[in-house]
Homo-oligomer: A and B are copies of this chain.
Amino acid sequence: MARGRNSGKATITDVAAVAGVSVAAVSKVVNGKGGISEPTRQRVLEAAAKLQWSPSAAAVALRGARTRTLGMVVGRTADLLTADPHFAVFISGIESQLSPLGYGLLLHIVGEEPEAELRAYRRLAEERRVDGVILTESRIGDTRFDLMRRLRLPALLVGTPWQDDPIPQVQAAGQDTGLREAVDHLVELGHRRIAYVSGPEDRVHTTFRRQVIESRLAGHGLRPSHVVVADFTAQDAADAVGNLVEPAAQRPTAIVFGNDTMAVAGVSAARRLGLEVPRDLSVIGYDDLPLGEIVHPRLTTVNQDVEQLGRAGAAALLALLGEAGVSDVAPPRPPSLVVRESTGPAPRG
């Protein structure tokens, strides 16, 4: 009577039969509802184990309208994905919160076109595949927050929203800490001509970072000697360095880059131009990729605890969804400067 035709997959009915109880009893046991005697509980548990049964996710979802799945849509091409390995770590932070609660993460990687991204969210919502989504990297004029509201899809942003959008969000306190430390560090080393090579300014955080640099520099009575907006690629970084180097008299003695990849590419470019880092030029990155530790000179950069950001984001979204038993997650600490070998005293003259 147990199992049978159903392609070998046990159902709650099979378990109930084996345990000699009703399906309701089984349901109550697996869901930890009360009103079940201990012996019965045991019998059910044994039967379930014997049949290797867990409640069907589809049936639970259909019944309760909760899928116990969170969604994430990543709008990036393969290239950018390789260049920025943070994303995998971010996800592993999310996972650490989800799996103890039996949640899964549905991931969509859709490439750059914003419409593809929006379409992915729309489908997630319409097909009711997820209970909520985690958003990252808000862009200038980001339309996702509005879309989520229209879709009535619970959403949480990790990072800084565009225009103070009231979307539920999580971010580290003191976002500006790392870059302020970076500027201070350079100024203390005697640098006065400091350039900044930014990533594309369509991201909220990119603009924010430039403003932090400028304002902190202003606090020291300085202005950035140059601000270059590049495309987060190595080639752009190399070009930027090429342009900044002439004329020598105006040459910045330090360059802060928008990410580590550009910074390392910048160091290489400088070397090709005959400049030695940090003797002739100091360089600071952002992200603190492992890469920074293995290059020579080791890279001074700004560290963020990306995994913790993922943990905190997932926990907050889960709480938003009314999930009980979400573990307490420490708030992400502010980004901070990691001083290594690519920064040194400003060259004299």
**Measuring CB to CB, which residues of chain A are less than 8 angstroms from any residue of chain B?**
7-9, 52-59, 61-62, 65, 67, 69, 76-79, 81-89, 91-93, 95, 99, 102, 104-111, 120, 122-123, 126-129, 152, 234, 237, 261, 264-265, 267-268, 271-272, 289-291, 293-296, 298, 307
Contacts and interface: CB of A to CB of B under 8 A. Distances in A.
A58 B102 CA distance: 17
Closest 9 A/B residue pairs (Cβ): A58-B61, A54-B126, A268-B296, A85-B85, A81-B88, A265-B294, A58-B62, A234-B294, A92-B109
Given A78-B307, A289-B82, A261 B56 contact: no
Contacts of A294: 234, 237, 261, 264-265, 268
Given A81-B85, A291-B291, 9 more contacts: A9-B128, A61-B61, A76-B92, A78-B88, A78-B92, A78-B307, A104-B129, A105-B108, A271-B296
Copy number in the complex reads: 2
A225 to B, nearest CB: 23
A311 B140 CA distance: 32
B67 A126 contact: no
A22 B209 CA distance: 56
A8 to B, nearest CB: 6
B85 A8 contact: no
A59 B57 contact: no
A35 B215 CA distance: 68
B105 A106 contact: yes
Contacts of A234: 290, 293-294
A99 B108 contact: yes
Nearest to A122: B52
A84 B108 CA distance: 20
Nearest to A48: B126
Contacts of A67: 57-58
A285 to B, nearest CB: 12
B58 A78 contact: no
Contacts of A99: 108, 110, 120
B105 A54 contact: no
A307 B76 CA distance: 13
A123 B52 CA distance: 10
A296 B267 CA distance: 8
Given A56-B128, A123-B54, A234-B290, A91 B107 contact: yes
10 contacts: A58-B61, A58-B62, A69-B129, A78-B93, A78-B307, A81-B92, A87-B88, A91-B109, A104-B129, A261-B294
A92 B116 CA distance: 14
A70 to B, nearest CB: 10
Nearest to A86: B82
Given A57-B127, A128-B58, A104 B95 contact: no
Contacts of A268: 294-296, 298
A136 to B, nearest CB: 14
Contacts of A8: 152
Contacts of A109: 88, 91-92, 95
A121 to B, nearest CB: 12
Contacts of A85: 81-85, 88
